[in-house]
Structure 1
């Protein structure tokens, strides 16, 4: 960059060089975030030629909104002990109360319909349910998947159609983020906290 150009011009050239406008496919870029990214990577930064737009956006977002870690770290011995018990699992300390999800389902081949009856309740109080619903998932596009919920996990992804059917937005982020990887470009609405879902 020329020493005579203003910081504003330098950032504008930087945005053009890295084609940051392509990252807006997911959501608009904020000027202050572009400046933060520029200051972090420097004016000579270039994307790896093999990186996809979704990967670039994930890097951009990580630099502007780094993940905060909570809880204590496991010692090497503790981690090895857990790995022996459950090979292939990843562990993180969880202190929040777990939401338990139960569901039953019925399928109709003739109607190409999959009905899911779902109840979300407190683990500590099985009598008070947070949400109850029956959802009909019609297969109009010959999808090769159905609603999948891992009720044994400490965090569960609740499909958007279920979130929409809950009474209000209490405890949910009103602004979606875009997923990457297997579910690339799917809008995700995060729960602010498990505790807010089980008030």
Structure 2
């Protein structure tokens, strides 16, 4: 819970009373490698805080081809955000790539605090703004940058992740094949 408190306090200061109300909404949960926090087609009701572990966010097309959209590494929030906001079925599956420790709360309970806890609402707004900027930056990278530059950004954004997850997940995230990733790595590192 200490990672959670320091993460949220970096977004905005929270009064001790409001922190108590907020933190009481969360319960610990273990997500085993291969388990999903949220599936495609599910209506999201919960939000999570990733304390440890790695989760991938991905979607699957009609031919069952998977595309990695994002990697979540601790500390960060997870959940089907678009589904939480709109009440529509979730599109992005979130699957544990390692065993994960998370804190989980009902999103409606958090929203109920907004009226009496403006610092919690402010933190949620700032978090949503961060998500928006991150999403826009990722879209720009995919469209405007070549695969080698995207790989360099991946290495900067996710240091050490390469040693922890399969290369095909990284290739999918970069929008290339594993063979193309091998070529890029050989070119960059002379391997």
- Say yes or no: TM over 0.5: no
- Could you say which TM-score interval applies, normalised by the shorter chain? under 0.3
Of structures 1 and 2, the one with the larger relative CO (CA 8 A, separation 6+) is: 2
Q: Which has the higher strand share?
A: 2
| Larger Rg, first or second structure (1 or 2) | 1
* TM-score (ref. length: structure 2): 0.21
Q: Which has the higher helix share?
A: 2
* TM-score (ref. length: structure 1): 0.21
